[in-house]
Structure 1
Amino acid sequence: MNTGAKPALSLIGRALRLLSTREHSRAELERKLEPYEEEPGALAKVLDALQAKGFINEARVLESVVHRRASKLGASRIKQELQAKGLEPEAVAEAVQALRATELERAREIWRKKFDRQPADAAERGKQMRFLASRGFGGDTIHKVVSGADEE
């Protein structure tokens, strides 16, 4: 008798479903799949197999996050996201260093899309600065963008 319920997915099935939507780090998959592990060690075996086949790739995860988020966020916010994914600290540091090189240009572009004019008063200036800070840009960068300093 069919009750209409879907059959329970295996750990590998769940992992592949998650990986089909976007890149996931091994730490992310462990966190998400841990509740479904029925026997100790089964999850580690599944993740080892997926990593051996190239389905889990830390470099691709890092590249994916940077590519998707760099046009919207500052280096410090992206760094937080990469660290939350459990990626290697050295790889995260390299990616953040590369992002810092383009920080000012990216902040200007985001600011232009949202405001596109210098603040008229202190309240508007504060609003613009808080917006950029919430996106993860540093204080020096925010000051240069909002004040229009060294505009190309």
Structure 2
Amino acid sequence: MAPEADDPDAERLAIRKRAMDLLARREHARAELVTKLAKRDHDADEIEVVIDELAAEGLQSDARYAEAAVASKSRRGIGPVRIRAELRSAGVADADIQIALDEAEIDWDALAEAARRKRFGDARPEDFPAKAKQMRFLQRRGFDGDQLAAAFDD
């Protein structure tokens, strides 16, 4: 246990400082912050109180984390299916995920085609095994069936 454990205010201040340090670097999901702070042997109840305060002050937001993740991952050629799965595993609510995906205004079909071209070049696959390989690649990147079809349309 941290030395601040004897003084609840000092413990809460230490948790807040560490949480603010993490949030200053990048957005974090609530569950991610809880996990990182718990690794530092802080009291779980105090962690929850501090994160509630940060959320109330607008300093921590799962919705903002989802928006940042969608923007970042889509720039790397990751599709919406995989982004949704990764955000769910980070503990972000489905409603926040859906809003972030909808508001991103990304042409997922064009992104799928761009990811295919970047990996395999401009030439279309000449036979079924080559096309299947490219489709599996795009599926792993998180694109759905409609986006796969769009990536191979002429």
TM-score of Structure 1 vs Structure 2, range by shorter chain: 0.7 to 0.9
Q: What fraction of aligned residue pairs are identical, expressed as a percent?
A: 34
**Corresponding letter in the other structure for 2:23:** L
- C-alpha distance in structure 2 between counterparts of 1:94 and 1:14, whole Å: 29
Mark the runs of 5 or more structure 2 residues left unpaired by the alignment.
1-13
Tell whether 2:51 aligns with 1:47: yes
Q: Over aligned residue pairs, what C-alpha RMSD do you find?
A: 2.4
The alpha carbon displacement at 1:48 in A equals 2.2
Task: Provide structure 1 residue ranges, at least 5 long, that are not aligned to the other structure.
Answer: 1-9
TM-score, normalised to structure 1's length?
A: 0.78
C-alpha separation between the residues in 2 aligned to 1:59 and 1:40? 23
Structure in which a larger fraction of residues adopt helix: 2
Q: 1:135 to 1:18 in 2, by over 3 A?
A: same
Q: Distance in 1 between matches of 2:130 and 2:51?
A: 50
Counterpart Cα distance in 2 of 1:17 and 1:11: 10
Alpha-carbon deviation of 1:141? Answer: 2.0
Q: Distance in 1 between matches of 2:137 and 2:44?
A: 46
Q: In structure 1, which of residues 95, 98, 118 is the aligned counterpart of residue 124 of structure 2?
A: 118
Q: Take 1:38 and 1:104, find their aligned partners in 2: how far apart are those partners?
A: 45
- Of 52-61 and 22-31, deviating more is 52-61
Q: How many residue pairs align between the two structures? A: 140
Per-residue CA shift, 1:60-116, capped at 9, x if unaligned? 112101111123111111111221222222222233455697221111121122222
Is 2:26 aligned against 1:22? yes
**Residue 23 (structure 1) shift:** 0.3
TM norm structure 2: 0.77
Deviation at 1:136, TM superposition (A): 0.5
